[in-house]
Structure 1
Amino acid sequence: MPSTPRTEAFPAHTPAASQVFTTVLSHGPLTRSDIGGRAGLSAAAVTKAVRPLIEAGYLVENTRNAQNPQNLENSENNGNSGNSGNSGTADDSEDAYIEARPSLGRPAGLVRVDGGRALFVGVKITGDEIIAVLTDLCCRIRSARHLPLTARDPGAVLTPTAELVRELLAEAEGVGAPVLGLGVAVSGDVDRAAGVVRYSPFLEWRDVRLAELMEMTTGLPVTVDNDVRALTVAEQWFGAGVGLSDFALVTVGAGIGCGLVVHGQVVSGAHGVAGEIGHVVIDPAGPPCHCGNRGCVEAIAADSAIVAAVREATGVAVADAAEALDLAHRGDQGARDVYTRAGDAIGRAIGTVANLLGPERVIISGEGLAAYDLFAEQIRDAFAAAAFGTAAHCDLKTRPLPFDEWARGAAATAIQSFIRSTTRP
């Protein structure tokens, strides 16, 4: 059995210190001058913020090899998978960080996050599988576990989830760094502040106090969040949203989700359901949605909706999304028409997001991207038709991500909670 998880407070006692750390986490290694420029802080404020973080081992400042011209500002070794193409997997090359800019006087040191200083666990719970990952402080995946779900009631999910976490805690003992948080990502209406799953349609859960239950069984501080918002946090700090003040993440697959970042903040809304574009009504006379309305984007473009529509259009009893996709790829016109309609619905929904929020970029991800070749043109055409004026200049970026990355998103929320735990008003 693993030892009792260690409790440790993050040594950033002011919002400025937290901001400095997250700036280095997402953009580093950086000189102190660059940190101040990105964070909008004076040199004195940066020094005050950096000192305790270096003393506690969370930041490291390197000054050796100052004449090496290599620019490591966006190095994959700092976990910036969106900028480097790296999936977030850890490597052993942290010691490669060196001064990136030659200078005439005293060389400016590069400040970086010591990813090995702490570990975190992330868990993604789907309707039929649990995925758990162990990450370092830079959210690089060190280990992953997958386990099929045999039942969906909370007790039947909690037990195997806790067991996966215990396995990763045992593995973490060999790494020699403390595990300081657990993030759990679930689809649906999730109240992160309360740690409660209000409603998850795929799990058929209502008002499950998941954070409290997981804390009791694992002994770790637990953050529970909507799965798309969790993935959005990972993209904001480590992926295709790094450096963007305003962007959206749209996921297609079992459901249609949307995470929103506005003025640098992931938006939950007053009731925790901001970004639910899956339930924007596209066709009031369309197919019924599980939410009670008709013609929602999700009722047209989610995997289950596509499977049902392909069966109806072709008369072929396709069993799942993979079979529906295969039928369309083999040229069945009825099946292809279903994907065309799905792409149109997704594109119109993205256009609505662009009109309302004006994001710099919309990242399109999710397991539904396996069909992207069938509806990419429709998505872009419908987006262009729906977007008003300069909203059409929004960059659409596709980013296929496996479910391990969704669990990594859950770990990112745990890292976020840990960093901010001592700086809340």
Structure 2
Amino acid sequence: MRSTPRTEAFPAHTPAAAQVFTTVLSHGPLTRSDMAGRAGLSAAAVTKAVRPLIEAGYLVEDVDDVGDEARSSLGRPANPVRVDGGRALFIGVKVTGDEIIAVLTDLCCRIRVARHLPLVARDPKTVLASISALVQELLAEADGFGVQVQGLGVAVSGDVDRAAGAVRLSPFLEWRDLPLAELVGMTTGLPVTVDNDVRALAVAEQWFGAGVGLSDFAVVTVGAGIGCGLVVHGKVVSGAHGVAGEIGHVVIDPTGPPCHCGNRGCAEAIAADPAIVTAVREATGLPVADAAQAVDLARRGDPGAREVYARAGNAIGRAIATVANLLGPERVIISGEGLAAYDLFAEQIRDAFAASAFGTAAQCDVLTRPLPFDEWARGAAATAIQSFISGAGT
């Protein structure tokens, strides 16, 4: 068994320092004046924030080749400052219903190593043992980089209380009120951040993906469920009770199929992969086993299967329009394993969105972005980086 990993505190002792660092992380390299403009801080505040971060090696100043004489005549040159991605490592874990995906990333959230492990059972004891095994593998890989792992992020579906480090309810895993951060921390020895998987993906998209530079956007995921991560005024929001963005349970058709939440006709009960498979089976009378078979049947022109996907696209488009109407995001990013069928319902998504979005909400940029589960695990690592920077690790 490996010894307990050694971690260190991030030298950003003020909110301004953390803000400067995350600004450089997402937009860098930046000069100090660029940092001040983007972060809305004074030049003095930026200088004060940058100094300890450079001294500790988290930021690196790319000094130009101006000679001493020119330097003295020009004053301090506007050298760009960047994050040293190799200064620290992080681990991200995504738990699905049938496998665990773990990645080792650097401080810039670039994946260095990825591991997948089939999940033989969904009970917490089995999942914890599998997470621990994967983390130990990645800690061994980290030794080869000569840098410490500073945090671990775990992403699961469902109602997750990040502040408490607890999974309140995860229907796919059948977990309820599980203190996951505490349990994973005990088995790994690392500071642990636990978050909803779609919110974690939104963090990664905000800092490193299609949401960089946007103040307001949403990530909508289609697959085993329908999820939504919201970024409002530059912050990923979870709401007072941790369930903000649950558009999967927006009722699209009150007379529609029953949903596991207890209602009828939720977007998830119409457009999630399990609902589609059930509906295709009923519409065709064929023993359709999974989403891949349902997609294949629809692509071969089966009218019943195609109608099921058309209804699913309509539900997704209306759910996205609800987000646009309520929050007015600049962009909605559609992702998830359900995008494998995107050609079957893309037109219906667009039409339903256009018909349901009110006024200028229809100008929202709707972008599809296929992201494999490695990227969801990267999102979990992004939450660990976020906690490390803010000093909020569990």
Question: Alpha-carbon deviations, 1:184-224, whole Å to 9, x = none?
Answer: 00000000000110110110011111000000000000000
Partner of 1:52: 52
Partner of 1:74: none
Partner of 2:25: 25
Residues in 2 aligned to 1:149 and 1:291: alpha-carbon distance in whole angstroms: 25
1:288-327 residue pairs with structure 2 within 5 A?
A: 288-327=258-297
Residues in 1 aligned to 2:300 and 2:65: alpha-carbon distance in whole angstroms: 57
How many correspondences in the alignment? 387
Partner of 2:314: 344
Identity across the alignment (%): 85
* Cα distance change on mapping 1:281 and 1:47 into 2, 3 Å: same
Question: Alpha-carbon deviations, 1:295-347, whole Å to 9, x = none?
Answer: 00000000000000000111111110011001111111111111000000000
Residues in 2 aligned to 1:65 and 1:370: alpha-carbon distance in whole angstroms: 50
Displacement of 1:409 in angstroms is 0.2
**Is the counterpart of residue 119 in structure 1 residue 95 in structure 2?**
no
Q: What TM-score, normalized by structure 1, do the two folds share?
A: 0.89
* Cα distance change on mapping 1:422 and 1:410 into 2, 3 Å: closer
**Is the counterpart of residue 198 in structure 1 residue 168 in structure 2?**
yes
- Name stretches of at least 5 consecutive residues in structure 1 with no aligned partner: 67-103
- Name stretches of at least 5 consecutive residues in structure 2 with no aligned partner: 67-73
Residues in 2 aligned to 1:361 and 1:315: alpha-carbon distance in whole angstroms: 39
Residues in 2 aligned to 1:63 and 1:163: alpha-carbon distance in whole angstroms: 43
Contact 1:9 1:422 in 2 (8 A): no
Displacement of 1:63 in angstroms is 2.0
Give the stretch that moved more between structures: 323-332 or 2-11: 2-11
2:336 is aligned, of 366, 387, 391, to 366
Displacement of 1:106 in angstroms is 5.7
Contact 1:364 1:397 in 2 (8 A): yes
After TM superposition, the runs of 4+ consecutive aligned structure 1 residues lying more than 6 A away are none
Question: Alpha-carbon deviations, 1:217-261, whole Å to 9, x = none?
Answer: 000000000000000000000000000000000000000000000
**Is the counterpart of residue 189 in structure 1 residue 159 in structure 2?**
yes
Residues in 2 aligned to 1:65 and 1:55: alpha-carbon distance in whole angstroms: 21
Partner of 1:82: none
Displacement of 1:105 in angstroms is 7.1
Q: CA RMSD in A?
A: 1.4
**Is the counterpart of residue 62 in structure 1 residue 62 in structure 2?**
yes
Question: Alpha-carbon deviations, 1:160-194, whole Å to 9, x = none?
Answer: 11010011001101101110000000000000000
Question: Alpha-carbon deviations, 1:255-290, whole Å to 9, x = none?
Answer: 000000000010100000000000000001000000
* Cα distance change on mapping 1:202 and 1:177 into 2, 3 Å: same
**Is the counterpart of residue 286 in structure 1 residue 256 in structure 2?**
yes
Residues in 1 aligned to 2:75 and 2:370: alpha-carbon distance in whole angstroms: 45
Residues in 1 aligned to 2:296 and 2:103: alpha-carbon distance in whole angstroms: 31
Opposite residue 109 of structure 2, the aligned amino acid is: C
Opposite residue 50 of structure 1, the aligned amino acid is: V
Secondary structure at the counterpart of residue 206 of structure 1: strand
Contact 1:12 1:422 in 2 (8 A): no
Residues in 2 aligned to 1:110 and 1:118: alpha-carbon distance in whole angstroms: 21
Residues in 2 aligned to 1:170 and 1:3: alpha-carbon distance in whole angstroms: 11
Residues in 1 aligned to 2:75 and 2:342: alpha-carbon distance in whole angstroms: 53
* Cα distance change on mapping 1:213 and 1:422 into 2, 3 Å: closer
Contact 1:287 1:299 in 2 (8 A): yes
Residues in 2 aligned to 1:266 and 1:412: alpha-carbon distance in whole angstroms: 12
Partner of 1:413: 383
Displacement of 1:36 in angstroms is 0.5
Contact 1:122 1:411 in 2 (8 A): yes
Secondary structure at the counterpart of residue 175 of structure 1: coil
Partner of 1:392: 362
